Amino acid sequence: MKNKFFVILFAIGNMLTIEAQEKKDNLTMNPFFQAYETPYNVPPFDKIKNEHFKPAILEGIKRHDVEINTIINAVEVPTFENTVLAMENAGELLSNANVVFSNLNSANTNKELQNIAKEIAPNLSAHRDDIYLNAKLFAKVKALWNQKETLNLNLEQAKILDNLYKDFVRSGANLSDSDKEILRKINGELSLISLKYGQNILAETNKYELVIDAQKDLAGLPQGLIDAAAADAKAKGKEGKWVFTLSNSSVMPFLQYSSNRELREQIWNAYQTRGNHDDELDNKANAVKLANLRGQKARLLGYQSHSDYVLEESMAKKPVNVNKLLNDLWKPALEIAKTEAADIQKMMVKEGIKGTVQPYDWRYYTEKIRKERFDLDEEELRPYFSLEHVRKGVFQVAEKLYGLQFKELNSVPKYHEDASVWEVTEANGTLVGILYMDFHPRDSKRGGAWMTSFRNQKTVDGKRQAPVIAIVCNFTKPSGETPALLTFDEVSTFFHEFGHSLHGLLSNVTYKSLAGTSVPRDFVELPSQIMENWAAEPEVLKMYAKHYKTGAVIPDALINKLKKAGTFDQGFATTEYLAASLLDLEYHSQTKDITVDANAFEKAAMTKIGLISSIIPRYRSTYFSHIFSGGYSSGYYSYIWSGVLDTDAFEAFKTTTLFNPEKAKLFRENILEKGGTEDPMVLYKRFRGAEPSIEPLLRKRGLDQKPETLKKVKG
């Protein structure tokens, strides 16, 4: 019996030894548990596997807990260094693993990653709550905040202390213990439902195909779009047919050019009813639940609504200020949109089409009117907008403004073969940062376009740590021997996202939490949107708009057509955008729970503002990922708020010289380099010399003219 007992003990000991060795091996083989031995210390994408994420994130949480507990239990008097700076620098493993995971889950996901996201979401939510609801830790931060005037802090130190204190308060640190538990539950639910909402949109987008097998049903479509649809069909095992999808680079040109009204209606309905089919991918309940939970959280924290909570930390400050801007723009935009709808109706009548203008008619007839009125067919422009030439143009603009140089890197790990990697340096060769660019749609990538970061810039021991930035888009793909030829809208998107990347790349701050795009939502779009202005300038067009076959520079006649059509269809574009912004605010300004379903809520909101039936909000409730899974809740208005800033800011160049070195230096030093170190309006006025005017935005969009005047100008 005694020998048997020792045999059992030996077996248990052996098992424990094996488990310990396996754990050690796993730690050794997991690239997140070691220093990145890669060029520029980018993530080792070539070594990272799906199974590495969960262990690294969970271990990262454990290690972060130890670091935070060390701060909490320190017997020394709290100082900036042992409390604020210690918190700033804690959690490196968790940050490294989670930033790669979250970025890949957006740009190159799969079922395994999506399942891991669901599994770890509660852990991450609970971990954050454990930090920001810890009374002992908050007491240390509050003690420092109360004496901040006597701590002799510099500007950035004062800012991160202020931000940290606000983070605690806005995260519920002042709540009672019972209310903290309620908040924990709300936060846990929010993290899971938001994740599910986004996954549903991706699944809905990927599962739909419009399969065409008759040549006649391709009438009106450009050859490039037809070739791309044939290539998609072949890739999906449907050779000899044509497949159109709900990717913007497929569905939008189909709606713009297809003369088959029934097929336009079919693909349009699939697009605008995503997440709205009463099945396992339905998002109606998710949208309402997210809005209600956010409202409950805001009220628990002492705010009237989620919008009041969010906007407190924005340039706008209050919902009333946002509503004023949106409503001031709404009336002129809607009036012009009605004029545009009347023009479409006349053309439909002329063609014998009965009934009123439908949303699936708008893009098709707008394109015909554009051609008739300005002799401009967007397909005329495409040959001049090859992705390669546009990229070179974007780089040239950055070089002329800021002296930046770009060199492609071929020996750096990439997360997907479609991505390219670029070293960005100053004119003197000093490293600025690393830029990943990933341009084309795929089933593993969510829709839209965005900029993100794999490593924020910071300064350590006086040495600037270069950031690792990425821009991710869903542009038209190459087809056969034809390169990727972009629409002008896609060109503008490229310039836009590249502007965001400059904000991340040129950051020059001390602390990573203040770096780059770590600014209020309604300020973050300034660096991106100002870049769009250069895209349409004749001087810049001649730099990059070159025919992909002949190399010929875009002719002046085509540039003039593009310029004359500059405010064309802006009633529609502004109205659909404002409708979505107002829908966002309607969801998040509620002071009590919404009790109707998302469709009814959306219909009432749009009826209230008088949206015409031929236009729907740019994003409907069931696929409005910006606000329900993308961090823009109560912030979708920021594009138009930043529009006021960017058009006013561009006037500084437009009224002097397009590449004015003095203005570029001011913009770089006061906007792009500063991140979130100071109040945005202070930074803006330091660049511009005054607060922005709304007049440049109204002129740019043609909203400064009455509809009848606008029509005369166009005619």
Active site residues: 497
Which run of H or E residues covers position 592?
none
Spatial separation of the C-alpha atoms in residues 50 and 66, rounded to whole Å: 26
Spatial separation of the C-alpha atoms in residues 1 and 277, rounded to whole Å: 66
Closest CA to 104 of 548, 454, 477, 603: 454
Alpha-helical regions (H) of 351-419: 359-374, 378-381, 387-402
Spatial separation of the C-alpha atoms in residues 359 and 266, rounded to whole Å: 12
Q: In Å, how far are 326, 576, 703 from 609, measured between CA atoms? A: 11, 12, 18
For residues 233-271, one letter each, b for 16 or more C-beta atoms within 10 angstroms of the residue's C-beta and e for the rest, the string is beeeeeeebbbbbbbbbbbbbbbbbbebeebbeebbebb
Residue pair 304/591 in contact (Cβ under 8 Å)? The answer is yes
CA 510 to chain centre: 25
**Mode of pairing for the β-strands spanning 458-460 and 450-455:** unpaired
Q: Give me the long-range contacts of 399-408 (CB less than 8 A, separation at least 24).
A: 400/659, 401/659, 401/664, 401/667, 401/668, 402/502, 402/506, 402/664, 402/668, 403/427, 404/432, 405/429, 406/435
For residues 421-434, one letter each, b for 16 or more C-beta atoms within 10 angstroms of the residue's C-beta and e for the rest, the string is bbbbbeeeeeebbb
E strand intervals along 116-252: 210-212, 242-244
**What 3-state DSSP class applies to 273?**
coil
Closest CA to 34 of 96, 89, 121: 96
**What 3-state DSSP class applies to 485?**
strand
464 pairs with which residues across the strands? 459
Spatial separation of the C-alpha atoms in residues 497 and 184, rounded to whole Å: 35
Count the neighbouring beta carbons within 10 Å of the beta carbon of residue 619: 23
Structure tokens at 218: 């391709």
Q: In Å, how far are 42, 123, 397, 407, 430 from 410, measured between CA atoms? A: 13, 37, 24, 10, 20
Longest dimension (CA), the chain: 104
Count the neighbouring beta carbons within 10 Å of the beta carbon of residue 556: 11
Residue 308, C-beta contacts closer than 8 angstroms, at least 6 positions apart: 298, 318, 319, 589
DSSP-derived letter for residue 396 is: H
**Could you give the count of Cα atoms lying within 13 Å of 53 in the half-sphere of its Cβ?**
23
